[in-house]
Structure formats: C-alpha cells, structure tokens
A and B are shown apart, each in its own frame.
Chain A
Amino acid sequence: MATALSGQAHADTVRIGVASNFAEPMQALAEVFAAGTGHTVIVSTGSTGRLYAQIVNGAPFDAFLAADTVRPARLVEDGLAVADSVQTYAIGRLALMDLADATAGTPSPLQRLQAGDYRRLALANPDLAPYGAAAHQVLAHLELQTASASRQVFGENIGQTYAFVATGNADLGFVALSQIRHPGSAPSGRHDLVPDDWHDPIRQDAVLLLRGAGNEAARAFLDFLASPEARDIIAAHGYEAPE
C-alpha cells in the first residue's frame, strides 16, 4: 500500500455513499482500487432512500452507488448529479431461502412456495425495497399473490428480511443471493435461485454527483467499477455484473 501511495503524483480522496446491500463488495472494491491508484476511498453506507435524502440535503459525497435506478435518475433531475455518468454496476439476484437441511430431500423452497407449505413468507417491503418489488412480481408471475397474502411479513429492507428467515421466525423468505454468499451469513439453510425472467431486473445504478464532478478519483472509481477486475469481484458477491 505504501509503495502504491508513493508512486502516485497526487492522491485524491473520494467519498462514496453506498447502498447497504452492497457494503461487502464495496469494501473489496475499495481496497483493490486504493491499492491500484493510491486514492483514498471513504465509504458511507445506508439505505438508498436515506442516502438520497442526505445527498439532497448537502451530504459530502462525490459518487452514489444506489440499490435502484430511481434515485440516481432523480438526482440527475434534481440537478445534483452528472447526467451522462449514470451506469448500472450490479444486477441483484433474488433467492428463496429456508432453514431446512439441504440433504434431507424434502421439497425445495420454490416447491414449498408453490404448494403453500409454509407458515410465514418474508419479503422486503415492496414499496421501499427493490428486492421486495421483485418478490412481488414473482408472486404475481406464479399467481400466488392471493394465496400468500395473509401469510406475508415485510422487512423494511432486505437485511431485516434475511434476519426474519435466519432467526427462524419466518420459515420461507425472498432474500438476495448476495446475502447468502455473504461470508458471515447463516451456516445452515438452503436456497433456490429465482429465475430472473420472473421479475424485472434488480438493477443498481451508480452516479457521479455534482460535488465530485471535478474529482479525478471519483471519475476513476466509476471507470474502475466497469472494469473486468471489478466485475469479477461483484460477481463473486452474488450479483450479476452488467454487460
């Protein structure tokens, strides 16, 4: 790290607001980026909606990695972000998870969902969280919306939804594949990857904020996000990297 720093003519600092679900891969990305460029990356995580509200109210971020496409687009409309800088950096994958023993040979999570064989189905609040909206679309696709309605419980975000399932309070739940790939996640349980043509893609967009428009390190980081090296890291964390 010291050699990388000393090899740089001028090292800048880039402050990035990152959606909580992307905190893990972001840490890996920031380390690789910092080692390669000598720039310093300061990461603040939070929900996309809260980060958006903070940016509108003057939070000192140079770039914003959101969990949806709506908030970056709105920041461009608000005149707070650079219009042509919007890029999709990751596409989330939805998984249906339960805590059953993977070797037991019992019906899979998707089979249980379709058979109605569960007590509580956890999903993220569809009004607040992109993964919740996607889960809603899956239920509509399977025509299970009515059958499951009275047994749905909502997490305010995908992290809380995962906690409902991981603690056993909900016996079935729509979570993010990236959470299952998370090194610290529950040791037990199993999941079915939900086919991605059952819902709209869960695209996560990044945008360069006006405050960072003149920051070389911020531009460099957004370029780095689209590099093959970054895509490998993103894919290893359970996301699809966009083409």
Chain B
Amino acid sequence: MSESLPAILLTVQLALVTTLILFVIGTPLAWWLATTRTRFKPVIEAVTALPLVLPPTVIGFYLLILFNPGSAIGGLWVRLTGDTLAFSFSGLVIASVIYSLPFMVQPLQTAFERVGRGPLDAAASLGASPLDAFISVVIPLSLRGFITAGVLSFIHTVGEFGVVLMVGGNIPGRTRVVSIALYDHVETLDYAAAHALALGLVAASLSVLVAVFLINRRYPVHAG
C-alpha cells in the first residue's frame, strides 16, 4: 500500500484543486444559466453538459492536440512555464476541470433556479449590492446545491480515468493517479495491489456519498 501513497496523494490533490477551480468558474456560470432569458441558453447548457456524454477519449484526443507545444495554447504555456501541458499536473487540472464541469454546474443551476431572483431583488431593495446579496442570501439558500456540486466534482475527478490516461503519460508522482495505478496493477496481473486500491476507492466514494446524503437531510431545501 505504501507504494500507492504517491498516487493517492496526487489524486486527492488533483481533485481538491479541480473542485476549487470549478467553484470559481461554475458558480457564475450556473447563476447565469439559472437566471438568463437568452434564447441561446439551451446551446450553452448543451455545451456545459457535453463532457457527460462524450467518451473520455474524445476529450483526451482534443486536449492532446490543444496541449501540443506547436499549437497556440500549448506553445504559450511552454513559453510561460518552460514545461509542456501534456504530462504535467497543470494539464491534468485543465482536463479535470473540463471533464467534471457538468457535475459542478448542474447541481448549482438547479439550486439557483429553486432560489430564484426573488430573495436577491428583496436584498437589493434593502440596499445590498448584487455581490453582497449573492453571498449573504443566495449562497446560504443554495448550500445543499454547493455541497452536492462540490462532492460530485471531487469524486468524479478521483474516478477519472480515460482523459488522464490519454494526456498524463503515467509519470509517478506527477500524473500517475489512483485509477491509472490500478489499471497498471490489473494489466500486470498484480491483483493483490489492484484489490487494495479498488477496495479503497469504493470505500472512499461510498462514505463520501453517504455523508452527502446525510448532510442533505440535515440541510433541507429552503422553500423560496
């Protein structure tokens, strides 16, 4: 198990960073989707949901092309950091943010739609700035959505396999996450190590999900 420790730490680190970035990106996006009246909304919603239905190989293949140092984005990254996006932790974060985006946006959007614009308008009429009102009114009312979104994004990133396989390059301590280490154990017939990791993943995912459902009972949806 000790040889699996770097993979476990890396996976937790990746999932944490990804979830934090997704909160920053996903919150305004979900709020906009929940409140917009534009007729392009279904298109944006579809694009946001795309990672749910696309095979990880499609995302991985496009990311490989995007990350290539000869491309605009890949080249800019090499000039800025001296390292390629592929085979790096930063590359995995970008891949994970894209891959887990719907798991952040959809629960938040649902929560925001339940809250509606009403409380925000009420707070505004009392003189609160929009951001102020959002933080002190909307976020507490949507707490359950935030918890669900955060946990799902985290767990989904932990369970990510196909995209990381394609852009990661399987480097110990840098891009070899738990799911890749597990795959290697299975392919090399090291079933004992595979069992340990697989059981660990199942136990961790299960306990986190149980915790979410418990919290959801504790914080029921506030009727707007």
Q: Give A contacts to B, CB under 8 Å.
A: 47, 49, 119-120, 122, 125, 127-128, 152-156, 160, 163-164, 167-171
Contact = CB atoms under 8 A, between A and B. Distances in A.
A119 B68 CA distance: 12
Contact of A154 (B65, B68, B171, B187): B171
B84 A119 contact: yes
9 contacts: A119-B84, A120-B87, A127-B187, A153-B169, A153-B170, A163-B166, A168-B71, A168-B74, A169-B69
Interface of B: 61, 64-65, 67-71, 74, 84, 86-87, 165-167, 169-171, 183-184, 187-188
B65 A167 contact: yes
A156 B183 contact: yes
Contacts of B183: 156
A120 B82 CA distance: 12
A163 B167 CA distance: 10
A133 to B, nearest CB: 12
Contacts of B84: 119-120, 169
Nearest to B67: A169
B218 to A, nearest CB: 43
A71 to B, nearest CB: 11
A122 B68 contact: no
Contacts of B166: 160, 163
A152 B188 CA distance: 20
B188 A128 contact: yes
Given A125-B170, A128-B188, A167-B64, A153 B87 contact: yes
A128 B87 contact: no
B163 to A, nearest CB: 13
B184 A169 contact: no
B48 to A, nearest CB: 26
Nearest to B189: A49
Contacts of B187: 47, 49, 127-128, 156
Nearest to A99: B70
Contacts of A169: 64, 67-69, 74, 84, 86-87, 167
Contacts of B86: 120, 153, 164, 169-170
A154 B69 contact: no
B214 to A, nearest CB: 38
A152 B168 CA distance: 12
A171 B86 CA distance: 12
B171 A127 contact: no
Given A120-B169, A128-B187, A168-B68, 4 more contacts: A119-B84, A156-B165, A168-B70, A170-B169
